Amino acid sequence: MIEFAQFGAGRIGRIHAGAIAASGKARLRYVVDVNAKAAAELAAAYGAKAVDTRTAMADPKVGAVLIASSTDTHADLCILAAKAGKAIFCEKPIDLSLKRVDACLKAVAAAKVPMLVGFNRRFDPSFAALHARLRAGEIGEVEQVIVSSRDPGLPPFEYLRVSGGQFRDMTIHDFDMARWLLGEEPVEVFAMGAALVDARVAKEGDIDSAMVLMRTKSGKMAHINNSRRASYGYDQRIEVHGSKGRLMAGNHTPTSVEKADATAVSTDKPLHFFLERYADAYRREMDAFLDALAKRKKMPVGAEDGRKALVLAEAALKSHKTGKPVKVPS
């Protein structure tokens, strides 16, 4: 049984704590959070203890740390965990600064500890199946990847102000998906963005709607479209077009019941938000982390994947600001 010290007792922290417990291969030993009450409540729910950072990192019984605290703490906690010899499961992004990400990756490499970055969408059963069939050659050579990702509504402005902006916060998931599906690294990015959902977003220096085009060295293309508003639910779809056909993965709905009458054919709306849509993905992500540790395998989503997604986010932000395509630095 691997014992975890978890940093962060908020919404995503509760999801991960549940995934640890559900795995049957690990247990939560400690919870650390600046909100002492939240830490104590989450710890009590899983038979753990609420402690401080030093206590959690110093305990030799802790084999892994799960970092689900605020983004500005991720890199520092990863570095502390690496120096303590703990395996690391870090939510995305590693940091909003590439300089800090590089310092983190340097520490992780020096300590030779395994690290997984929480791009949970790779573990969604439908997306994972699409990827497997793609790699098996079912549709030949990949030519185009289209990723649609739209939230049901804006997050609180308090969150937006510290999120790092839409490209680093929301689209970063889609940059990772595009890299994964293309099978090649994008070399050029062209991005457009606007505040179409709420004009106040622009006053905060951010956007709430975006479209991004990318191409690889061989000419493969990817298109990402984002919106912070989808009146019909949480819209998460992928389409890959290849030389021999097409693969698609659509939205999940509460039921598969379809009604047909004289006026229309209708189904349920998509699941409302990521908590429901990616519930299976979070559990499978934890299982993959634990399996890699047990078998001493390479992590399925490593620290370098986290860095490369952020590099694409930075290129998209620069393109949006300049109105020009941007070469992706190697």
Q: Does the N-terminal peptide bond of residue 93 adopt cis geometry, omega within 30 degrees of 0?
A: yes
Whether the CB-CB separation of 200 and 164 falls below 8 Å is answered with: no
What whole-number distance in Å separates Cα of residue 214 and Cα of residue 323? Answer: 14
State residue 330's pLDDT score.
79
Q: What angle do CA 22, 20, 12 make, to 5 degrees?
A: 110
- Whether this prediction's pTM lies above 0.75 is answered by yes
What whole-number distance in Å separates Cα of residue 28 and Cα of residue 64? Answer: 10
State residue 308's pLDDT score.
98
The pair of structure tokens assigned to 74 is 């991720």
What whole-number distance in Å separates Cα of residue 114 and Cα of residue 112? Answer: 7
Residue-wise pLDDT for 217-276, tens only, equals 999 999 999 999 999 999 999 999 999 999 999 999 999 999 999 999 999 999 998 989
State residue 157's pLDDT score.
94
3-state secondary structure (DSSP) of residue 245: strand
What phi, psi does 145 have (nearest 5°)?
A: -125, 130
Distances (CA, A) of 323 to 19, 165, 171, 315, 317: 42, 17, 18, 12, 10
Contacts of 219 (CB under 8 A, 6+ apart): none
Helix (H) or strand (E) holding 100: helix 98-111
Can you list the residues of the chain whose pLDDT is less than 50? none
Q: Enumerate helices (H) and strands (E) in the chain, giving the number of each.
A: 13, 15
Distances (CA, A) of 207 to 204, 273, 317, 323: 9, 20, 10, 14
Residue 234 CB neighbours (<10 A): 22
Q: Which of 124, 79, 130 is nearest to 102 (CA)?
A: 79
